[in-house]
Chains A and B, each alone.
Chain A
């Protein structure tokens, strides 16, 4: 085997330029594969981070039945005395903090302008321990429970030309059912403008103190949800805590349901999966091109070295050995191409992980497309893992070896006499 490998290795570098070009197709395919995998993984992680930290938290408790109607934002499916539940939650070790919130349909009115938005009433003392809205404040300051003030996102501020200190009217939909549609309006001062990096939150959500919202919505000591921050980000730990809370509700006969962040954004996860699959298809095409390159190079080698193959066969080299020789040659191109691809792809992904890739630089259309699918904006960061490099390396090498089978079989099938006569 060692001698065959040595011979194969030397044959590969016999035609340096051709080998280099073939090697580059493998390298290019793998570089793109690694960058794509890293960027998609990075965007996914960034999206999940944004979803958990600005939108859903780890777990959410609703009154039983609210989940199915949550898109209508009903205010008649509320949790009564949420504080009592929050005390119970403290007994679960995995729970770091919980917070009561009300989500309601609303619109923001400034002069003649009106934009629909999602109103979220929060507990200003507890919210910073569950979400990162406070950390994301760009201008102004954090909410005070007693003040009639609100926070808006950069997107909404830009769309309506609002800045800190401006007064706006928040029209709150107290019932969205057609037959009993009703609303209430309050004038609130904008106390701060936040930028969480989650386009949904930054362009559609407004935050105000829970007490103010409860008064305006006539919800006395009632909330629509309790959000929970856990000690761990791991899916298994989240599922475990969810089951624990679920059991607690069943044993205490509470009419409540608990959902994980993934349950609430299942649409995003499904789209993300489809996107990953589609991207894999493009990568497969690139790898297919690399495979064709290898087949072509190896077939040329078989043609050029026909007499040499005839000589090897005359010397008694077995068909399996000739096959192996050419497969080794393809494999060596694959190993070097993959290695180079892993280095280049790894380096590019590492730079994208450290420096990030500004979405703004890709133009307005790219921003729209990206933010329509992923809850990220501004800068996308790649997330490179050793696993991707290993997958890419193995894939590159295996494809190269498989691509060599046909030329190798062709070489092995040559009759020694005909091959020796070949000019």
Chain B
């Protein structure tokens, strides 16, 4: 059973009377545990594809399966529930909650899941923060951390609820190349360790090289789909 299956997915944006096709009949299968990068120039449809896979947006045509469940016709409310339990997000601009500490930011998805007592949550949060190398910065607020440290918090936050899928939209775009590499290395390491599926978008060659599978998009279509020996 594949984790994600897209069949002939299209997405058309409509602005006033002008229609803009962002995705054109894209079909794709993602297996569990993959470390996949989606590359392409601006406007190629990377973010749109991630949004549809991440249950943030509806496609205008085609079918999306998440573990054999057709989610194409689910209502916004149902999609929110899927995101809450199954999908972790890592954003380009980190998007941490500024008033919460690193610990509280990571604890937040567990609180949303709501199936654990705070006492049970604590060791999980501490463990993942230690894993991303922030053991000593747990009580810092985002404003007191560097970009790289904030992105590590975001990775911990995405992974703490043990999601089936982690989506990262250009996760290194706001970081210097060395920090970016460290972040990608960390994601690759966590992917190997937890077997969590990672899909990330990028237009940076260094990032593309990290993926074990690389999908290139162009003008809303898959241009190439290749397995990479060199990937992490």
- Closest residue to B51 on the A side, CB-wise? A417
Interface string of B76-93 (1 = CB under 8 A from A): 010011111101010101
- Closest residue to B95 on the A side, CB-wise? A311
Q: Interface-forming stretch among B108-116, B128-136, B172-180, B207-215?
A: B108-116
Shortest Cβ distance from B40 into chain A, in angstroms? 18
User: What is the CA–CA distance of A14 and B98 in the complex, to the nearest angstrom?
Assistant: 9
Jot down 9 A-B pairs with beta carbons below 8 A, ordered by A: A308-B98, A311-B91, A314-B89, A315-B83, A315-B109, A316-B80, A316-B85, A318-B81, A420-B56
B54: interface (CB < 8 Å)? yes
- Considering residues B54, B109, B111, which has the most beta carbons from chain A within 10 angstroms of its beta carbon? B111
Interface pair A316/B99, CB less than 8 Å apart: no
Shortest Cβ distance from A141 into chain B, in angstroms? 75
User: What is the CA–CA distance of A11 and B93 in the complex, to the nearest angstrom?
Assistant: 20
Interface pair A307/B99, CB less than 8 Å apart: no
Shortest Cβ distance from A10 into chain B, in angstroms? 4
- Closest residue to A9 on the B side, CB-wise? B99
Interface pair B112/A316, CB less than 8 Å apart: yes
Interface pair A316/B83, CB less than 8 Å apart: yes
Interface string of A290-314 (1 = CB under 8 A from B): 0000000000000000011011111
Shortest Cβ distance from A5 into chain B, in angstroms? 12
A7: interface (CB < 8 Å)? yes
By a CB distance below 8 angstroms, the chain A residues around B89 are 311, 314-315
Interface pair B99/A315, CB less than 8 Å apart: no
Question: Which of A296-353 touch B at CB < 8 Å?
Answer: 307-308, 310-319, 321
- Given known pairs A315-B108, A417-B51, the reply for A308 and B81 (CB within 8 Å) is no
B97: interface (CB < 8 Å)? yes
- Which one of B54, B80, B91 lies within 8 Å of A318 (CB-CB)? B80
A: residues with CB less than 8 A from B are 3, 7, 10-11, 14, 307-308, 310-319, 321, 416-417, 420
User: What is the CA–CA distance of A31 and B82 in the complex, to the nearest angstrom?
Assistant: 48
User: What is the CA–CA distance of A417 and B51 in the complex, to the nearest angstrom?
Assistant: 8
- Given known pairs A10-B99, A318-B77, the reply for A417 and B57 (CB within 8 Å) is yes
Interface pair B80/A317, CB less than 8 Å apart: yes
- Closest residue to B141 on the A side, CB-wise? A10
B100: interface (CB < 8 Å)? yes
By a CB distance below 8 angstroms, the chain A residues around B54 are 314
User: What is the CA–CA distance of A59 and B108 in the complex, to the nearest angstrom?
Assistant: 69
* A-B contacts at CB below 8 angstroms, number: 58
User: What is the CA–CA distance of A313 and B81 in the complex, to the nearest angstrom?
Assistant: 10
Interface pair B108/A319, CB less than 8 Å apart: no
User: What is the CA–CA distance of A416 and B83 in the complex, to the nearest angstrom?
Assistant: 12
- Closest residue to B169 on the A side, CB-wise? A420
Interface pair B100/A7, CB less than 8 Å apart: yes
By a CB distance below 8 angstroms, the chain B residues around A315 are 83-84, 89, 108-109, 112
User: What is the CA–CA distance of A3 and B116 in the complex, to the nearest angstrom?
Assistant: 13
User: What is the CA–CA distance of A416 and B82 in the complex, to the nearest angstrom?
Assistant: 14
Question: Which of B1-49 touch A at CB < 8 Å?
Answer: none
- Considering residues A314, A321, A417, A420, which has the most beta carbons from chain B within 10 angstroms of its beta carbon? A314
By a CB distance below 8 angstroms, the chain A residues around B93 are 307
- Closest residue to B84 on the A side, CB-wise? A316
- Closest residue to A8 on the B side, CB-wise? B99
- Which one of A3, A307, A318, A319 lies within 8 Å of B95 (CB-CB)? A307
- Closest residue to A310 on the B side, CB-wise? B95
User: What is the CA–CA distance of A191 and B232 in the complex, to the nearest angstrom?
Assistant: 112
Shortest Cβ distance from B206 into chain A, in angstroms? 25
- Closest residue to B88 on the A side, CB-wise? A315
By a CB distance below 8 angstroms, the chain A residues around B56 are 314, 416-417, 420
By a CB distance below 8 angstroms, the chain A residues around B111 are 3
User: What is the CA–CA distance of A318 and B93 in the complex, to the nearest angstrom?
Assistant: 22
- Which one of A308, A310, A417 lies within 8 Å of B97 (CB-CB)? A308
By a CB distance below 8 angstroms, the chain A residues around B81 are 316, 318
By a CB distance below 8 angstroms, the chain B residues around A313 are 80
Complex A-B, nearest 3 residue pairs according to Cβ-Cβ distance, in ascending order: A316-B84, A10-B99, A316-B83
Shortest Cβ distance from B56 into chain A, in angstroms? 5
Interface pair B95/A308, CB less than 8 Å apart: yes
- Which one of A14, A321, A420 lies within 8 Å of B99 (CB-CB)? A14
By a CB distance below 8 angstroms, the chain B residues around A308 are 95, 97-98
Shortest Cβ distance from B73 into chain A, in angstroms? 18
Shortest Cβ distance from B221 into chain A, in angstroms? 21
- Which one of B57, B82, B83, B99 lies within 8 Å of A7 (CB-CB)? B99
Shortest Cβ distance from B51 into chain A, in angstroms? 6
